[in-house]
């Protein structure tokens, strides 16, 4: 049987370059070699494309691969731009199509989509570069009370995220967030348990199912930021402990968000589980697949090897479901 040529695209021009390298490396290592012929597609931080170390133009990809596993994160890879390139040149790829990717990447747009479906989302204020400091503080005070969460409006892996205890800390946190994005989001800090729910499309492409919820055990009024995810790792992560009724409510919210966004193949949804039910923080349309990421922990909780998951998702992409 002729093997399927899989291009695993990783790297990229954004702040999540190194996380993407690790996700892509794990995908390359886990692809079943009896079925697939892997090819390493690297986008450098300067935006240059290479396949197996040789420079390539995106228009030539279809000559070398049958399908692309999208292991990019953040800017360019998760915001619809690379998806448009694949669509233009007729290359099948894993993950969501361009429009849901672009909406999911913009946290304010995503929140509006989710709220319109009746899902609870945090209150927040959008801030742009150049906004006057005093005016920003006044706008924030009108909507929410401290503590605040401040983060770039676009991006993932919690890059540039800060927990702000009071108004005096707001400006430095905004400056940090705005160094990664043209706009930033100031949100209320929602008290509760942080839980991520993965969603995977069914084989027919018409429905989806949830993965076991994964809980991040953090001290009160602390945040699961980039350092916690990929560097210091002082928190605990494991299967969420909750009543069956809570689990059902959470899973229904994740499936509702997935449908409302129009996400494809697989995605993860970050919630705070409060006393009044789940509050949806954001979506990751291309969740990390590193050894430290949450999505693989959900796979492990279901006793699903990474190789089987990759095979399944590539099958969806090849069938264009």
CATH number of the domain to which 54 belongs:
3.40.50.20
In angstroms, the Cα distances linking 64 to 56, 81, 97, 282 are 10, 21, 22, 35
Using DSSP, state whether 87 is helix, strand or coil.
helix
Q: What is the pLDDT of residues 218-252, one digit of tens each?
A: 656 555 444 444 444 445 577 888 899 999 999 99
**Which tokens belong to 247?**
């689990």
What pLDDT score does 223 carry? 55
Q: Within this chain, do residues 106 and 254 fall inside the same structural domain, yes or no?
A: yes
Q: Within this chain, do residues 207 and 158 fall inside the same structural domain, yes or no?
A: no
Q: Within this chain, do residues 111 and 257 fall inside the same structural domain, yes or no?
A: yes
Question: How many domains in the chain?
Answer: 3
From 143, 173, 188, give the residue that closes a domain.
188
What pLDDT score does 234 carry? 42
Q: Within this chain, do residues 230 and 311 fall inside the same structural domain, yes or no?
A: yes
Domain CATH code at residue 183:
3.30.1490.20
Q: What is the pLDDT of residues 122-162, one digit of tens each?
A: 999 999 988 887 788 889 889 999 999 999 988 755 678 88
Question: pLDDT-derived band of residue 180, with 50, 70 and 90 as boundaries?
Answer: confident
Q: Give me the domain span that covers residue 54.
A: 4-94
What dihedral do alpha carbons 16, 19, 20, 26 form, nearest 10°? -170
CA distance linking residue 321 with residue 314, whole number of Å: 10
**Number of other residues whose CB lies within 10 A of the CB of residue 254:** 28
| pTM exceeds 0.95, yes or no | no
Which has the minimum average pLDDT: 16-25, 135-144, 186-195, 207-216? 135-144
Range 175-189 burial, b when 16+ CB lie within 10 A, else e: ebbbebbebbbbbbb
CA distance linking residue 8 with residue 39, whole number of Å: 6
Q: Within this chain, do residues 53 and 116 fall inside the same structural domain, yes or no?
A: no
Alpha helices in the chain (DSSP H): 17-30, 81-88, 98-105, 107-116, 133-143, 170-178, 226-230, 244-261, 294-301, 306-318
Q: Is the pLDDT of residue 307 over 50?
A: yes
Q: Within this chain, do residues 152 and 289 fall inside the same structural domain, yes or no?
A: no
**Which tokens belong to 299?**
């796979």
Q: Within this chain, do residues 183 and 195 fall inside the same structural domain, yes or no?
A: no
């Amino acid at each position: 049987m002729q093997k399927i040529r899989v291009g695993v695209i990783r790297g990229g021009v954004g702040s999540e370059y190194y996380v993407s390298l690790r996700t892509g490396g794990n995908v390359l290592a886990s692809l079943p070699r009896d079925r697939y012929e892997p090819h390493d597609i690297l986008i450098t931080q300067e935006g240059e494309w290479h396949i197996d170390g040789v420079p390539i133009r995106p228009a030539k990809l279809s000559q070398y691969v049958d399908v692309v596993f999208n292991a990019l994160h953040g800017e360019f890879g998760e915001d619809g731009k690379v998806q448009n390139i694949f669509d233009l040149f007729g290359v099948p790829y894993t993950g969501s199509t361009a429009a849901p990717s672009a909406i999911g990447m913009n946290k304010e747009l995503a929140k509006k989509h989710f709220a319109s479906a009746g899902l609870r989302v945090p209150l927040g204020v959008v801030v742009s570069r150049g906004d006057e400091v005093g005016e920003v503080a006044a706008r924030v005070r009108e909507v929410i009370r401290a503590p605040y969460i401040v983060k770039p409006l676009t991006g993932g892996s919690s890059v540039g995220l800060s927990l702000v205890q009071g108004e005096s800390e707001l400006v430095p946190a905004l400056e940090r967030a705005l160094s990664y994005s043209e706009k930033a989001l100031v949100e209320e800090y929602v008290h509760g348990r942080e839980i991520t729910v993965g969603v995977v499309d069914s084989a027919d492409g018409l429905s989806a199912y949830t993965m076991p919820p994964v809980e991040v055990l953090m001290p009160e009024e602390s945040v699961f930021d980039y350092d916690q995810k990929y560097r210091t790792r002082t928190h605990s992560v494991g299967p969420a402990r909750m009543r069956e009724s809570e689990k059902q409510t959470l899973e229904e919210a994740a499936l509702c968000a997935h449908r409302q966004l129009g996400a494809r193949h697989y995605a993860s949804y970050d919630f705070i589980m409060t006393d009044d039910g789940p509050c949806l923080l954001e979506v990751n349309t291309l969740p990390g697949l590193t050894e430290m990421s949450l999505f693989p922990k959900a796979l492990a909780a279901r006793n699903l090897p990474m190789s089987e998951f990759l095979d399944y998702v590539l099958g969806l992409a090849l069938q264009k479901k």
